[in-house]
Homo-oligomer: A and B are copies of this chain.
Amino acid sequence: MRISTKGRYALRVLVDLAEHQADDFVPLKVIATRQQISEKYLESILKVLVRNKILTGRRGKGGGYRLTKPPEQYTVGSILRLTEGDLAPVACLDQGADNCPRTANCRTLPMWRKLDELVNNYLDSITIADLMESPPAK
């Protein structure tokens, strides 16, 4: 991490869908307009979410997207790890990172690990339902 538009948009879409669960399937066009996000770009993001069973897509007239689970069952962390690939604060901690020869006596690595843990724990403690309840800042 740093969280890019991909992750930020994904979260906003999930909150949007959660707030419109009554509408059954919501078309991409509607979400994009409501959230002011480019349709085509959003499409590429939702594709990932569908592939990972976060959303279901229904084709054809009357189709659109829908959550597969209730909002409180999605953690922010799990969504971001999907769209961002990795939340590690340094390259050294990326999955499949070639562990450098200095790992054994690196003075800073323990700190990065703790930071990584801190961030992930925080983001895993928040659900989409929490974001819905989040009071608008004044």
Contact = CB atoms under 8 A, between A and B. Distances in A.
Contacts of A111: 76, 126, 131, 134
A1 B89 contact: yes
Contacts of A114: 122
Contact of A12 (B76, B108, B115, B132): B108
A15 B107 contact: yes
Contact of A137 (B36, B109, B138): B109
A114 B126 CA distance: 12
Interface string A1-15: 111010010011001
Contacts of A1: 1-2, 89
Chain multiplicity (copies): 2
A99 to B, nearest CB: 11
19 contacts: A1-B2, A2-B2, A2-B88, A3-B89, A3-B90, A3-B112, A5-B91, A8-B92, A8-B108, A11-B108, A12-B107, A36-B102, A104-B136, A107-B132, A110-B135, A111-B131, A115-B119, A118-B122, A119-B119
